[in-house]
Chain A
Amino acid sequence: MVFWRKKRNASEQEQEERDDKLLHPSREPEIEPPTDAEEPSLAHDVREVPESGVLEELAETPVPAHTRLSDAREAEVQREARAEEDGGGWFSRLSSGLSKSTRKISDGIGDLITKRKLDDATLEQLEELLIGADLGPRTAARVVADFAQGRFGKEIGEQEVREALADSIAKILEPVTGELTIPDAPKPFVILVAGVNGVGKTTTIGKLAWQYHVNRKKKLVIGAGDTFRAAAIEQLQIWSERAHCPLVAKQVGADAAAVAFESYEKAVEEGADILMIDTAGRLHNKANLMAELQKIVRVLKKRDETAPHEVLLVLDATTGQNAHSQVEVYRDMLDVTGLVVTKLDGSARGGVVVSLADQFKLPIYAVGVGEGIEDLQPFHPKEYARALVGL
């Protein structure tokens, strides 16, 4: 019984030695940064797929009654209210929204300067007031430096301080003024709406749909790409009914890219001008979820090389400096073409858009200023800046 101990032949021994070398490196092996990873698996592998497909039960779910008539009435009332406000429209609306929040910043300036020399202490206080509005320490410093130029050491009144500050801020914001214009071709014009969780993507789509369909008589199709969150489809369905647009939805847990593809088909079939695609909220640092978004884009490109024609990133005005990271990652991964800032009717001032404008130069297409269907307004930098400093 020695056969298993018999001498190995030469080639086997060589092989053994080679293997040995592999197994027992002579020196301490260094940390190898492993670089050969696979493509991250897509989100639907990771996420738990909810089992219920409950669209049919929607009828039983109580929602605020939104009839065609009541929506029209709501829009009418909103329009009238806006017409009554002097100066008309966006500025006064935003001011009233911002009044609570800006009171503090403007009171601050009021306390600060009645009429005295502009010195370092005053400048520091100005800087802090801007930081308090979420401009971020660096942008605040820049705006204040800009403001101080040529004014340092001079006597200056409160009104002048505000005007000058507003001018400085508006100067930064002016390059990012933009309107979401829909050209006649290509058809359908594809708008992809993305953002982190809870910023108001679905609501924004509802408002946009209303704006383009009811106010500008464009033909719209909406794709319910949020197949993950519970009742997201139902929520969008209610909005699409309010805006009288057809909705393409699949069951919960379906592939979002498939929804996008099917809604594109539907849009072509209907001869729609615009296709808007909702997506599930996702944190920008989740690589697999971001890859899912890229898949949606890839799938759309199969039908139209130029699609999506606009990629809107929705930002929450209450978000602080993390908005930078959001915009940066979303822009790199998804070629974001414009921003929508929501929840500007609260006490948050959304000052981070100033530093975003400075850094990314992405146009701000619209701002959300309420829960009503008409509460989506174009962005006016001058008026925003003035409202921000309480003018």
Chain B
Amino acid sequence: MFESLGDKLTGVLDKLRGKGALTEDDVNAAAREIRIALLEADVALPVVKEFIERVRERAVGQEVIKSVTPAQQVVKIVHDTIVETLGSETAELKFATPPCAFLMVGLQGSGKTTSTAKIARFLTDKQRKKVLMASLDVNRPAAQEQLRQLGEQTGVATLPVVKGQQPVDIAKRAMDTARKEGFDVVMLDTAGRLSIDEALMNEAAEVKKATNPVETILVTDAMTGQDAVNTARAFDEKVGISAIMLTRVDGDARGGAALSMRAVTGKPIKLMGVGEKWDAIEPFAPDRIAGRILGMGDVVSLVEKASETVDQEKALKLAQKFKKGQFDFNDMLTQLQQMKKMGGMGALMQMLPGMGKMAGQLEEHGVDDSMLKRQEAIILSMTKKEREKPDLLNASRKKRIAAGSGTSVQEINRLVKQQMQMQTVMKRMRKMGMGKMMGAMKGLMGDKDAALLGQSLDPDALARDMAGLKDEGPLGPNPFDDMGKGPKGLPPGLGGGLPGLGSTLTGGFPAKGSGRKKKKR
């Protein structure tokens, strides 16, 4: 969803590219464009104003660094300011001595009930909590029934419904039940209410008083406009919220509401809803989101998701094969299947730097997961031997495979081509190692570019530049830094690039990372 804002800013900043130093005019031009972009992204006006002022102050003056371009400079400043506004680190949900209550509040139709079920499932699966859900929505027809059904679908316990009971009483009963039956967390789903509805706001405050929730979560639609400020402020003042959850982040709204609400309430955005399935909920990570806002992609999310879904053992096996420079159709199949597990191509593309735009284009061209499906079908129609030794494939074998998989010989050729390319990349990578690859890249670029790259890669110069800055560089922490070491490092299973994209990404992540350095310049 955030890609569009990123595209906008990238467009603005491209105009600045190539100029020597950042003048006040440059900054003003950028500021105007950033202002429009932010407003169109639904960031609330007061927040935009403050944001622009901060960017302007920083941009004109002492913080100009010589070794980077003005555009980079502005990217860095805008990025930092967004991160700063969103809060600088991931905020975790809090817990207290069981049973502790989570109170869900928000406007009508913001997604409270669905989010309640998602959080309950999230806590059950990831945090091993025993969760009880209770619906306090006595206003909307069938709301309590909805939560009961969600409980059935997600396998989370729900409080039996007692006809005609009022919200405060239901909440108290839920807490009693939790105490008696040993639940850790009680999720209280309230009715949607307008922030100007005094009676209902008071009711929410009463429920809060009666249950003393450890988290009071304001659920807000990512598509919300300027009103996000009023809503967040009203709920914070009248009920008192401790966290914000952003829903429908999988839409194409730019999500300026996130910036606005955070700026106005100072309350952390802890979670986001990213799809219709129960596991489509993610912790909100401001630095990553800021990266996405700027169109830099969300590699960290990808890596985390990968390490979750990718089978570690298989990955290890793959890694050993890669070391030998082999990449056969079995490896490709594993990758395809892992990609599918990770939410398909669209989801992956959105997370890759600079690919946000492309994801949209691909979708327009009808490239989607059906392509992955067909490629998988092709490989599945091969014999074991063919999968291990792609060289075996001759015309008649290809014809057979095409018939078996319901595809055409051309498609098989394309797949074979991809496999060959990846194999080549594997071999090259094995031969070169990272250091040499950088060298090769320099060779590919012009002299001036190479000199610039050298400059920006010169550790001394970098150290000098960074001394005055808080974090790792103009583009934030480099997600590739910890590739080898941490558990969050990219599992090798993904290292070979994404087969579905063919030559787009055959370089795999290491090359991608260096490619980013190239772009940075």
Task: Give the B-binding residues of A (Cβ under 8 A).
Answer: 15-16, 18-19, 22-25, 28-38, 40-41, 47-48, 50-52, 54, 57-58, 60-64, 100-101, 128, 131-134, 136-138, 196-200, 228-232, 234-235, 237-239, 252, 283-287, 316, 318-323, 325, 343, 345-349, 352, 371
Residue in B36, B42, B141, B420 whose beta carbon sits within 8 Å of that of A322 in the complex: B42
Residue in A19, A29, A64, A196 whose beta carbon sits within 8 Å of that of B138 in the complex: A64
User: Is B223 part of the contact surface with A, judged by Cβ < 8 Å?
Assistant: yes
Shortest A339–chain B CB gap in Å is 16
Residue in A31, A138, A252, A345 whose beta carbon sits within 8 Å of that of B503 in the complex: A31
- Could you write out 26 A-B pairs with CB less than 8 Å apart? A23-B416, A31-B503, A32-B502, A33-B365, A36-B366, A36-B411, A51-B152, A60-B163, A61-B144, A61-B148, A133-B226, A197-B111, A198-B110, A200-B109, A228-B276, A230-B146, A230-B153, A231-B143, A232-B142, A234-B142, A319-B225, A321-B40, A325-B252, A343-B194, A346-B227, A348-B230
User: Is B395 part of the contact surface with A, judged by Cβ < 8 Å?
Assistant: yes
A134 touches B226 (CB 8 A): yes
A62 touches B111 (CB 8 A): no
5 cross-chain pairs, A with B, having the tightest CB-CB distances, nearest first: A320-B225, A198-B109, A320-B42, A231-B146, A37-B366
Since A61-B148, A231-B143 are in contact, a sample of 20 more A-B pairs with Cβ atoms closer than 8 Å, ordered by chain A residue number, is A23-B413, A31-B504, A32-B502, A37-B365, A38-B366, A38-B370, A47-B276, A58-B145, A128-B45, A131-B226, A132-B44, A132-B45, A230-B149, A234-B146, A316-B109, A318-B224, A319-B224, A321-B41, A322-B251, A346-B196
A138 proximity list for chain B (CB < 8 A): 36, 40
Complex CA gap A18/B396 in Å reads 13
- In the complex, the chain B residue whose C-beta lies closest to that of A229 is B146
A40 touches B149 (CB 8 A): no
Q: Mark B157-176, 1 if CB is under 8 A from A, else 0.
A: 00001111100000000000
- Given A61-B161, A287-B363, CB of A343 within 8 Å of CB of B108: yes
A16 touches B42 (CB 8 A): no
Within 8 A of A (CB), among B33-70: 35-36, 39-42, 44-45
Once A and B bind, how many residue pairs between them come within 8 Å at the CB atom? 233
Residue of B111, B250, B251, B257 most packed against chain A (CB within 10 A): B251
Complex CA gap A134/B162 in Å reads 42
A23 touches B503 (CB 8 A): no
A100 proximity list for chain B (CB < 8 A): 196
User: Is B31 part of the contact surface with A, judged by Cβ < 8 Å?
Assistant: no
Complex CA gap A323/B227 in Å reads 14
A238 proximity list for chain B (CB < 8 A): 141-142
- Given A37-B365, A50-B149, A343-B108, CB of A16 within 8 Å of CB of B194: no
- In the complex, the chain B residue whose C-beta lies closest to that of A128 is B45
Within 8 A of A (CB), among B418-466: 420-421
B234 proximity list for chain A (CB < 8 A): 347
- In the complex, the chain B residue whose C-beta lies closest to that of A63 is B141
Residue in B44, B148, B366 whose beta carbon sits within 8 Å of that of A35 in the complex: B366
Complex CA gap A231/B148 in Å reads 9
- In the complex, the chain A residue whose C-beta lies closest to that of B416 is A23
A283 touches B251 (CB 8 A): yes
B142 touches A347 (CB 8 A): no
User: Is B241 part of the contact surface with A, judged by Cβ < 8 Å?
Assistant: no
A34 touches B138 (CB 8 A): no
User: Is B195 part of the contact surface with A, judged by Cβ < 8 Å?
Assistant: yes
